Chains A and B, each alone.
Chain A
C-alpha cells in the first residue's frame, strides 16, 4: 500500500536505464534515507517505526542493486521478464572460456608464490575487462534492447565478480 513497494528505479526517482548518473543516484538515496531512516523515528509510534524500518530497508536494497552495474543490469532484465540464468546457463564463447582458465591458472600460481603484487595486478586486469563489458551492456540495454545479448554479458560479469572475490579472498589470506 505504500510507495516503498515501487520498483527500485521509481523509488529512487530514476529512469529505468543501464546508464545512470551516479551522483544523482547517491543524492536521491540520501534524500530518502534522510526522511525515512529509523533514527528519525526513535520517538515515533510503533507503526511509524515499523514503516520506517521497511522503507529504509527497501531504500538500501534499491540503492545496493542500482549502484552495482552487474546487479543493475540483472534487475533491468528482470523488469523485462528476462531471467539471466546464471545458475544453469554456463555456455560461454570459447574465447571467454580461455580467459577464465588463464585467470584461474594465474591465480593459483600467484597464491602458490604468495605474490600479492601479481594478484593485485590481476584484479586491475579484471576490472578493466569488466569496464569493457559494461560499455557493451549499455549498448545492448539502452540502445538495442537486445535482452539475450545483455543476459549473456551479465553472465560474464557475474563470473568476473566471482573470480575477483576469490582473488580478494586469497590476498586477505596471504596478508594474515
Chain B
C-alpha cells in the first residue's frame, strides 16, 4: 500500500555463511542463485590479505589458507560480535587474535582487521557479482543470520553490510529464509522444523505456516557446533591413527582440508582414502570407513537433538504435531544426520532443495517482497527474539524483561526506583541470555541515567523501556517520571559502529573521495528525499481524496514542492530539514491510512468466515 507502481527494483538475498556465502535474486518470478564468472554459486567465506593493500576473496583466497594462514581468514562469522573468551578454544586456529572491547580482532599484514571488515569484504564481492549479473545498482539486500545470533552479532552483521555499501532491507533468520524457499514452492501449511547445520553453527526453528504467514514459534541451537566440527573429528582421528601431535599451521590446514574431502566423499561412498604429504616429508595414508566415521560423529549428532527437544517444549508441541522437517546446510547431506533426524521425528526430512542454496533462495524471495516488486503482497514473516533480554539487579542477578521467542517488533517497560536518599544517578546494565547470573549472560551495554531530581529513597519512578525492531535490534531508553522532571536517553550497544567508525574504515580501505563525509551525506539525503517523495505521491494518489480535506492535502503538497525544489542543491542540511518538515506534515495522513487499512482488513469478519 505504500509503494507506487514502478520499475522492477534490484534486490538480492545474501546468505553470509561461516564456510560459504551466496547471493540470489528473483528473476521472472523465480528465485535463482547468481553465479560468478566461472559459473560457481558458492563463494568460500575466506578473505586473503595480500601485499600492497590487495585483498582476494573466495576460492583464490581459500588456496592460500595453507601457505599464508595468518593472513587468510576463514569462518570470520564465528568472530562477529564476539570477544576472545566467547570463541573458546583458539589453539587450532592459525590467526593472531587481538582482544578489543566488544569484539575480537585479527592482526594481518594489512593491519588489524575486525570481523566486521573481513565480512564486509565477502559482502562487497557478492554485491559486485550481483550488480554485474543484474546490470545495475542494488536497491537493497536481505541478509540472513542464524536465528540464535544475539544482538551483538546481528549489529555486527548489519555494520558489515553498511561497510560494504549495501542497503539492508532486513536481517532475516536463516531457518525462516529456508522455510520461505520451501513454503512457497510447496504451498505447505502446518508446523515445520528447520534443522540447519551449517559450517559453524547449528540452529533449529519451529515455524507455523498458514496462508502466506510464517510464524516463528520458537528457536534454539548451538552457536559453536557445525560441519567444521565433523572435519575436526576426522582430523583428530588422523592424528590418533598416525600417532602425531604437534603440526605446523600449514600441515593443520592441509589435514583439515583432507578431512573435509573425506567427509564429503563418505556421503556417497562406503569408505574414503586419506593421503597427504606433510612438510617434514612424512606420508599419511589412511582409510576411513563410513562406519567408523558414523561412530566418530555420533556424539556431535546427539548434541543437535537437545536443542530440538528444547525448541519443541518452548513451542508446547509434540513430535506428532510436526508436519515436515526442512534440512539446511551442506552438513545435512551426511546420511547419518538424515537418518538420526528421520528416527527422531518418525518421518524422512525434506531434502528436495539444495541445502547449500535454500537460505539464499528464501532471502531473495523476501528481498523481492520488501523492495515492493511483488504485486500479490501476501507473504508476511512474523519473527521472534531468540534470546531473553534483562537487566542486572542486586547480587549480580539478571531480571528478565523480555522472554525469548517474543514476536518482533516489541517494546516492554519495567519500573525501578532509587535505593538511597538524594540519589541522582542510576546505572543500568543490559544483558541477553537465559541464565540467572550476570556473568553467564552476554553484556549488551551499561549506561547511566543522570539528572534524577534528589528525593527520598524509593520515591523516584524510573521506567526503562526496551524496544526491539523487526531486525531484532535493541534500543533502550530510561526516563524518570515523577514531578514532571524527565531524563531520557537512548543507547546503542557499545559494540555497534558509529557513522564515524564506518567512514574511517571506508577511508582506510578506499582512500577515495567517495568516503568524504559531506559527499556521502548529500548522496544519502537525496536518496532519502527521492524515496520520500515517491512514497508520498503514491499515497496521495491512492488515498489523498478519501482521507484528507482540501486544506490538509494542500499543506502536504506544498511541503513536497519545497523539497522537490531543493533536490538539486548541494546542501544536505537543507534537504534533510525539508525531509523532516514533509515527514512531519504527513503524520496525520499516515495515521489515518494505517487506521483505514486495519479497519478494512477487519471489516466483514464474521464467525462463519473464520474457519481455518
Closest residue of B by beta carbon distance from A42? B370
Q: Are A48 and B2 in contact (CB under 8 A)?
A: yes
Q: State whether A44 and B535 are in contact (beta carbons under 8 Å apart), knowing that A21-B607, A27-B612, A39-B381 are contacts in the complex.
A: yes
Q: Are A46 and B595 in contact (CB under 8 A)?
A: no
Interface stretch, picked from B197-205, B425-433, B448-456, B583-591, is B583-591
Q: Are B590 and A45 in contact (CB under 8 A)?
A: yes
Q: State whether A60 and B407 are in contact (beta carbons under 8 Å apart), knowing that A34-B380, A40-B2, A43-B3 are contacts in the complex.
A: yes
Q: Does A28 contact B (CB under 8 A)?
A: yes
A56 to B471, CA, bound (A): 13
Q: Are A3 and B598 in contact (CB under 8 A)?
A: yes
Interface stretch, picked from B102-110, B305-313, B567-575, is B305-313
CB contacts (< 8 Å) of A168 on chain B: these are 313
A36 to B409, CA, bound (A): 11
Closest residue of B by beta carbon distance from A60? B407
A172 to B435, CA, bound (A): 12
Q: Are A45 and B598 in contact (CB under 8 A)?
A: no
Q: Are A21 and B595 in contact (CB under 8 A)?
A: no
Q: Does A105 contact B (CB under 8 A)?
A: no
CB contacts (< 8 Å) of B406 on chain A: these are 60, 64
Q: Does B169 contact A (CB under 8 A)?
A: yes
A1 to B587, CA, bound (A): 10
Contact indicator per residue, chain B 511-543, by CB within 8 Å of chain A (1) or not (0): 000000000000000000001101110000000
A43 CB → nearest B CB, Å: 5
Q: Are A175 and B2 in contact (CB under 8 A)?
A: no
CB contacts (< 8 Å) of A40 on chain B: these are 1-2, 377
Q: Are A45 and B586 in contact (CB under 8 A)?
A: yes
CB contacts (< 8 Å) of B586 on chain A: these are 45, 47-48
Q: Does A114 contact B (CB under 8 A)?
A: no
List B396-432 residues whose CB lies under 8 Å from chain A. Answer: 406-411
CB contacts (< 8 Å) of B470 on chain A: these are 37-39, 53, 56
Q: Are B612 and A55 in contact (CB under 8 A)?
A: no
Q: Does A32 contact B (CB under 8 A)?
A: yes
Q: Does A133 contact B (CB under 8 A)?
A: no
List B79-101 residues whose CB lies under 8 Å from chain A. Answer: none
Contact indicator per residue, chain A 32-75, by CB within 8 Å of chain B (1) or not (0): 11111111111111111001110111001101100000000000
Q: State whether A35 and B601 are in contact (beta carbons under 8 Å apart), knowing that A60-B407, A176-B306 are contacts in the complex.
A: yes
Q: Does B278 contact A (CB under 8 A)?
A: no
Q: State whether A13 and B372 are in contact (beta carbons under 8 Å apart), knowing that A2-B594, A23-B612, A168-B313 are contacts in the complex.
A: no
Q: Are B407 and A35 in contact (CB under 8 A)?
A: no
Contact indicator per residue, chain B 168-202, by CB within 8 Å of chain A (1) or not (0): 01100000000000000000000000000000000
CB contacts (< 8 Å) of A144 on chain B: these are none
Q: Does B500 contact A (CB under 8 A)?
A: no
Closest residue of A by beta carbon distance from B169? A42
Contact indicator per residue, chain A 9-29, by CB within 8 Å of chain B (1) or not (0): 000010000000101101110
Closest residue of B by beta carbon distance from A38? B470
CB contacts (< 8 Å) of A61 on chain B: these are 410-411
CB contacts (< 8 Å) of A47 on chain B: these are 583-584, 586-587, 590
CB contacts (< 8 Å) of B583 on chain A: these are 45-47
CB contacts (< 8 Å) of B377 on chain A: these are 40
B469 CB → nearest A CB, Å: 7
Q: Are A57 and B411 in contact (CB under 8 A)?
A: yes
A–B pairs, 11, beta carbons within 8 Å: A30-B380, A37-B470, A39-B369, A45-B535, A46-B579, A53-B469, A55-B594, A56-B470, A60-B410, A64-B406, A175-B310
Other A-B pairs beyond A2-B591, A31-B598, 8, CB < 8 Å: A3-B595, A3-B598, A37-B470, A39-B470, A40-B1, A42-B372, A43-B371, A47-B583
Write the residues of chain B forming the contact surface with A, with a CB cutoff of 8 angstroms. 1-3, 140, 169-170, 211, 213, 306, 309-310, 313, 369-372, 377-378, 380-382, 406-411, 467, 469-470, 531-532, 534-536, 579, 582-584, 586-588, 590-591, 594-595, 597-599, 601-602, 605, 607, 610-612
9 pairs of A and B residues whose beta carbons are closest in the complex: A38-B470, A44-B2, A31-B601, A3-B595, A35-B597, A2-B591, A42-B370, A13-B602, A47-B583
